[in-house]
Amino acid sequence: MPSISLKGHHMPESPVRKLVPFAENAKKRGIKVYHLNIGQPDIKTPQIALDAVKNNRIDVLAYSRSEGSEIYRKKIAMHYKKYHIQVTHDDILVTTGGSEALFFTLSSIADAGDEIIIPEPFYANYNSFSIASGVHIVPVTSKIDTNFDLPPISEFEQLISDKTKAILICNPGNPTGYLYTKEEIHALAQLAKKHDLFLIADEVYRDFIYDNTEHYSILRESELEEHAIMIDSVSKKYSMCGARIGCIVSRNNTFIATALKFAQARLSPPTYAQIASEAALDTPQEYFDQIIKEYSDRRNTLITELQKIPHVKVTQPKGAFYCIAELPICDADHFAQWLLEKYHYKHETVMVAPASGFYSNTAFGKYQVRIAYVLNKDSIIKAVTILKHALDEYRYIDHEKTTTSSVASCDIH
C-alpha cells in the first residue's frame, strides 16, 4: 500500500472523537448522555440570520470574492467600532470559519520548523493546525492552582528564539475561560514589538464575558499595526457553528495580501453562510444580553456544583463557556471512556473532554477534563450529580478488569 505522510500520521485525532462510539453505544443501551464535551451551544441562532437565508433570491449559486464580499466586510468593520476596534474592510479577510483563519495565518507567517509560543492549555486544534503546517508549538504552561493566570512575560521572553514567528493567545480562552487584562495584552504587545513577532489573538469568544468585565482586543493596542492579527468567527457569537464563516483582521497589508493568496487557492468562502453572517450583524443587543445572562448563570451553577465534590479543583472562568476541572482520577482519557462504557447513574451518564489534547505537554492534562456549559442549568445540575457519584464509584474499582480500554490500570490521583 502506498504510504501516507508523516504529518498525516502525527495529526492528532480529535480528543473527543475517539469517545464518540462509546457514547453511541451507551445511547443504544438506553443510557441518556449529558454532553459536557462539546462547544456546540444549544442557543437558537438569531432569527434575522435564519430568515436571510430562507428569503435569499439566488438563482445561480456563484463564487463570492475570495476575500469575502465587500459589503459584508464593510459591515464587519463598522461592527467592530462597537468594540473600539478601528479597521477598514481592507483589513478584513473572510474565511471558512475561524479554523481556516488560523490555518491561513499560520501558513502566511511560518514555515516548517518555525516556532509559535502559545500559553497552554489551549484549543486542541492549535496542535492540528501546527502539525499540518509543520510549525512547532512552544508552550508556556499556566496552572490550575494559580487560576490559569498568564505566566510572567519573562517566561515568554525566555522561549523566544530565532525560529519564533509569533505568540498566539485565545482571549477569552478555550478551554480555561481565562480573560486577559488590558495590562497583560499591553505587555504581550510590547514583547511582540520588541522581538518583531506577530501577536495573534483568537477572539472568537469576545462576546462571552461575565461579571461586568470588559474584553480588550489586541487591535486596540496602538503601534501594533504591523504585528497584530486577530481571528474571529460567527460560530459561537451567533450560535452559527455550522455556517463556517470567520475572518482574519490585521492592519498589516503585506500579511493580508499573503493570506489572500491562500484564500484564492480555495476560491471563496461559502455563499449562503455569508448571507446569514451578514444579516447576523443586525442581531439586536437583547439577544446577547439574554445569552450572557444565561451563560453566566450556567457557569455559576456549574462551578458551584463542581466545588461541592471532594477533591475536585476548578477555577472561575471569566469568559467563553468552558472550564477545566481537575478530578481525583488516574487518567482522564480512561475515566471519560469508563463513564460512557461502564457507568450510569439511574440510566444517565456524562460525556466530558479529556484535557490532554489541550496541552502540548499532554501529561499536564492527565487528571483534567474540559467541561462546556452549553446545557441549561437543570441539566448541568443533573450532570454534575452524576459526575459526583461516578467519581465515588471510580475510586473503588479495579480498572484493569473493568474496561476494554488500552489504558493500563493506574493509581488514583
Interaction between residue 379 and its own copies (CB under 8 A): no
Interaction between residue 291 and its own copies (CB under 8 A): no
Query: Considering beta carbons, is residue 244 or 342 the nearer one to its own copies?
Result: 244
Query: Considering beta carbons, is residue 315 or 379 the nearer one to its own copies?
Result: 379
CA distance 97 to 63: 17
Query: Considering beta carbons, is residue 54 or 293 the nearer one to its own copies?
Result: 54
Q: What are the strands of the beta sheet with 136-141, ordered from one edge?
A: 92-95, 246-249, 228-233, 198-202, 164-170, 115-120, 136-141
Interaction between residue 242 and its own copies (CB under 8 A): yes
Grid cell locating 257: 495580501
Smallest distance, Å, CB 103 to its own copies? Answer: 7
Interaction between residue 142 and its own copies (CB under 8 A): no
Smallest distance, Å, CB 81 to its own copies? Answer: 26
Per CB under 8 A, contacts with its own copies among 247-276 are 252, 254-255, 258-259, 261-262, 264-273, 276
Smallest distance, Å, CB 153 to its own copies? Answer: 18
Smallest distance, Å, CB 292 to its own copies? Answer: 18
Interaction between residue 198 and its own copies (CB under 8 A): yes
Whole-Å CA distances, 112 to 8, 108, 136, 204, 248: 15, 11, 8, 26, 21
DSSP H helices, 55-115, are 70-80, 97-109
Pick the binder of its own copies from 24, 25, 27, 61 (CB under 8 A).
61
Residue with cell 463557556: 321
Interaction between residue 114 and its own copies (CB under 8 A): yes
Interaction between residue 187 and its own copies (CB under 8 A): no
Q: Are 166 and 198 in contact (CB under 8 A)?
A: yes
Per CB under 8 A, contacts with its own copies among 301-330 are none
Pick the binder of its own copies from 28, 29, 30, 112 (CB under 8 A).
112
Q: Return the closest-CA partner of residue 334 out of 93, 22, 6, 48.
A: 22
CA distance 356 to 71: 42
Pick the binder of its own copies from 31, 32, 40, 407 (CB under 8 A).
40
Q: Return the closest-CA partner of residue 220 out of 248, 182, 192, 178.
A: 182
Interaction between residue 166 and its own copies (CB under 8 A): yes
Q: Are 329 and 367 in contact (CB under 8 A)?
A: yes
**Region binding its own copies by CB under 8 A among candidate stretches 152-160, 194-202, 286-294, 375-383:** 194-202
CA distance 86 to 108: 23
Grid cell locating 413: 490521583
The 63-102 contact track toward its own copies, x by CB under 8 A, reads xx-x-----------------------------xx-xx--
Pick the binder of its own copies from 35, 89, 165, 215 (CB under 8 A).
165
Q: What are the backbone angles phi and psi of residue 173, rounded to the nearest 5°?
A: -90, 135
